[in-house]
Amino acid sequence: MPASATDFTTADLPDGRIFVAGAFREGRGAEIESRFPADGSLNRVMREAGPEDLDEAMIAAQKAAADPTWRDLLPHRRADYLYRISQGIAANADRIAYIQSRDTGKTIRETHALALSAAGTFRYFAAALETMEEAITPSRGPWMTLSRYEPIGVVAAITPWNSPIASDAQKVAPALAAGNAVILKPATWSPLVGLEFARIVTESGLPTGLLSVLPGGGQTIGDRLVSHPAIGRISFTGGTKVGHAIASKAAQRLVPVSLELGGKSPTIVFPDADIDQALAGILYGMFSSSGQSCIAGSRLFIHRSIYNEFLMRLVAATKALKVGHPFDPDTQVAPLIHPAHVAGVARWVDIARAEGGRVLAGGMAPDGEAYKGGYYYLPTIVDGVDNTATICREEVFGPVLVAMPFDNEDDVIFMSNDNQYGLACGVWSRDLGRAMAVGKAITTGTVWINTYKQFSISTPFGADKESGFGREKGLEGLRAYMRQKSYYISDSGVKIPWALSAMDASS
C-alpha cells in the first residue's frame, strides 16, 4: 500500500530541470506547464528540451555507447546496474506515486502499483542478463557456427503521458540491459515522472551519458530525435497518427522500430460466463485509469440472450463507481490528464449521440464542489449503435464504453475483427475450448480469458494492424534492442576447395 499522499508536498516534485548526459539543467526549449488534473493547480513551470540539448545528449550517448567499459561489459556486470536501479525505484515508490498522481491525475493506489511494476521490470531484465544464452548452431561444414547478440548503440525511447514510469522502464531497462545508451523523451503533459526516474538512475551509478531525459514536443524534439543519424533503434508508445509518421521516418533510414499505438479492444460475454466475474472484469478493464489506456476494453459484445439483463447490471455498477480525488484511497475513477483531453472525450460522446447512440450512464462531467477546477468525466456507457458507428471505430482514450449484442461466434468474431485496431481482446466464458478458439480467430496481440488487463513482464506484449508492431517485455523484448550477428569459425586447417587450383599455380 502507498504511504499517504499527505506525506508529500509540491516541494517534493522535481524542480523541472531536464537531464542531459548526467547533469540536470534548465531546458533551452519552450516553456511548458505541469498541472494537477484534480483541481488544475500548478505543479511546475519548466522549459522543455531544445535542439541544442538533444545534440549534446546525442554526442554524450554515442561516446558512452562506444566506450568499451560499457559496450564490452559482461552481461552479469550490467545486471548489477539494473538491480540497483530496481532497488532505487522500489525504495522511492511512495514519492514516485505522489509525483505521478500530481502529474497525470491517476489514483495514488494505481501510481504506487506502477512504480513497483517499474522496479520489477528492471529486476526482471537484470535476471535475464544473468541467464541469457547465445547459441552454437548445428555446423554444416568444417567450422563452428554461432549466433551472438550485440548492442545497437543509441536508442530513442518515446513514452506516453498515461503511464510514464511503467512505460519508461519497459523501454529503458531492456535497452540498457542490451548494452545501449538511451535518449528518453517523455510527453509534455507528464514531464515530471521521467525526471524523478533520471534522479534514481543517476544515484545507481550508471555511467554518464547512457541516459538523457528530454521532455519536449513532437515537433521540437520528437521529429529531430527519430531522424537523427546516430539513432539505431526507435521505440514509441503513443497515438496511431504519430506512429505512422515515425515509421515513415524510420523506413527512410532503414532503422528498426517498435510501435505500440491505439486500440479499440473487443470484450465478449457468452451466456455461460460467470456473470459477476465478467461484470467486475469489464468495469476494471474499461474504467480503471479513467479509460486512458490503449488496451481498454472499449467495445463490449454481449450475447443477445443475456444482453438486457447484463447491460442493466453493468449500468447500475458503472453509476456506483467512486469518481473522486486521486489521493482518496476509495477513488476508482480519477480525473483525466488535461482539459483538452476532456473536451475530446466529450466530443466523441456527442458524435455517438448524433449517430443515434443512447447514453445509459455518464456522458458528462460530474457536478459538485469536489470536482471544481478538475478535469473529470463520468464513466460512460453508450448503446443503440452498431459496429459501424464512429464511437466503435475511433479510439476515445477515456471512460467511454459502447455495448452491442451478438448472436453467435461467427458474428462476434467478424465484428471484433472489423476494426482498424488489433491490440487486445477479452473473452468471458466457462467453455475454455470455445474461448481459446475465439481468441485464436481474433487478430490481436493479447487475449484475456475470464480476466482482463493483467500483465507479466516475462510475457511479450505487442499488437497487430493499426495498433502497431514489434514486441516489448520478455526475452523477445530484450533481444529487440540487440543486433544478432552470426560467426563462422574454422580451426580445422581445411582450405576452401574453390581456390586450391589457383593457389597451386601460384606456388
Residues tagged active-site: 171, 260, 294, 472
What cell does 486 get?
552470426
Report the chain's C-alpha Rg in angstroms.
25
> In Å, what is the CA distance from 26 to each residue of 31, 47, 100, 214?
10, 6, 21, 11
Give the Cα separation of 353 and 341 in Å (integer): 19
Give the Cα separation of 379 and 289 in Å (integer): 11
Neighbours of 353 (CB within 10 A): 15
Neighbours of 412 (CB within 10 A): 25
Give the Cα separation of 428 and 306 in Å (integer): 13
C-alpha closest to that of 470 among 250, 267, 201: 250
Give the Cα separation of 22 and 9 in Å (integer): 26
Give the Cα separation of 308 and 304 in Å (integer): 8
C-alpha closest to that of 297 among 268, 323, 272, 320: 268
Q: Are strands 23-25 and 18-20 parallel, antiparallel or unpaired?
A: antiparallel
Q: Is 378 left (phi over 0), alpha (psi -120 to 50) or beta?
A: beta
Give the Cα separation of 290 and 103 in Å (integer): 15
Q: Phi and psi dihedrals of 89, rounded to 5?
A: -65, -45
Question: CB burial class (10 A; 0-12, 13-18, 19+) of residue 394?
Answer: middle
CA angle, residues 89, 95, 100, in degrees to nearest 5: 90
What cell does 426 get?
477479452
Neighbours of 388 (CB within 10 A): 10
Q: What is the 3 state secondary structure string of 218-265?
A: HHHHHHHHHHCCCEEEEEEECCHHHHHHHHHHHHHHCCCEEEECCCCC
Q: Are strands 231-237 and 154-158 parallel, antiparallel or unpaired?
A: parallel
C-alpha closest to that of 425 among 262, 264, 267: 267
Q: Are strands 400-406 and 421-422 parallel, antiparallel or unpaired?
A: unpaired
Give the Cα separation of 499 and 157 in Å (integer): 48
